[in-house]
Amino acid sequence: MAEKKVGMELYKSKLLLSIVWCIIFFGYSIALGLTLVMAAYILGVW
């Protein structure tokens, strides 16, 4: 019974870690995209 509980805890922590990584990755991608768009807009204006 205890082993199953440990397995679930491990699974939950792995799931949480993957969710965090997805959030970081998407946040970084969006920030990079916005930066490129802003740079293109500024260069276009100048």
Reduce the DSSP state of residue 1 to 3 states and report it.
coil
pLDDT tens for each residue of 5-37: 888 898 999 999 999 999 999 999 999 999 999
Confidence label for 3 from pLDDT (cuts 50, 70 and 90): confident
- Token code pair at residue 23: 């959030």
